[in-house]
Copies of this chain bind each other. A is one copy, B any other.
Amino acid sequence: MDKKPLIFLTNDDGVHAKGLRELIATLQPLGRLFVVAPQTAQSGMSHAITMTRPLFLQKLEETPERVIYSCNGTPVDCVKIAFDYLMLHGERPSLAISGINHGANSAINVLYSGTMGATIETSFYEIPAIGFSLLDHDENADFSTARLYVEQITRKVMAEPIENPLCLNVNIPNLPAAEIKGIMPCRQNRGYWREKFEKRTNPQGRDYYWLSGYFYNTEPEACDTDEWALKNGYVSIVPIQVDLTNYPQLDRIKQWKF
């Protein structure tokens, strides 16, 4: 009998988040799972790594079907310690999945997202990487629709001939399955966040500020973007790359005389 493939899992909402438990339940039939997830919530941690403190690991579970560790670092730390320490001399996974994130990681959110930071980092290990996010921040969100698409898209990636690096940013509308119109491969929407800082005063009389903001979509009419797909009831898939070079600007700057 063939051994089931080894799949690496992580997230940014922490090892105890419902989204990760739902991801484990969804993918367990497809493979053996190696999970290293942050000890605590790491939303908004982007591609951060921990440089000023050491990392601690805790093994929470080990069965033939799955191993689960927590780590006190960021999502990217979890990936690094998994691939370059825990799995270094053992079997390597054939696929890496992050999520299921509580909340959207579409458009420019890909830059701030710990889930996508981890997903991008796993793609550096020459295996397909997928980050899944559900458009619902609630800690008790209903992942039943998301699970259908997590399974379908994961099976697809396992079945297709893949050219690495393959790194997918998948976002799933918060809708009943019957209202989802399909899966739409698309590009990252252009836009940015503007923040509103809510000022409060602590009991010691010192002012403090809560970050909260809104996304400003600079191309609401474009119908080939992830924002459009999600607003129109589609699951969005944006393939991700990490060459940040702005080539048109590079051509302009080459004309500068220093």
Contacts and interface: CB of A to CB of B under 8 A. Distances in A.
A144 interface: no
Interface stretch (A1-9, A23-31, A80-88, A92-100): A80-88
A89 interface: no
A240 to B, nearest CB: 5
A47 B185 CA distance: 25
A185 B77 contact: no
A244 interface: yes
B253 A246 contact: no
A200 B44 CA distance: 29
A167 interface: yes
A49 interface: yes
A166 B117 CA distance: 24
Interface of A: 41, 43-52, 54-57, 74, 76-77, 80-81, 84-85, 108, 110-112, 114, 117, 120, 124, 152-153, 156, 160, 163, 165-169, 182-183, 185-188, 190, 192-197, 200, 206-211, 213, 237-247, 249-250, 252-254, 256, 258
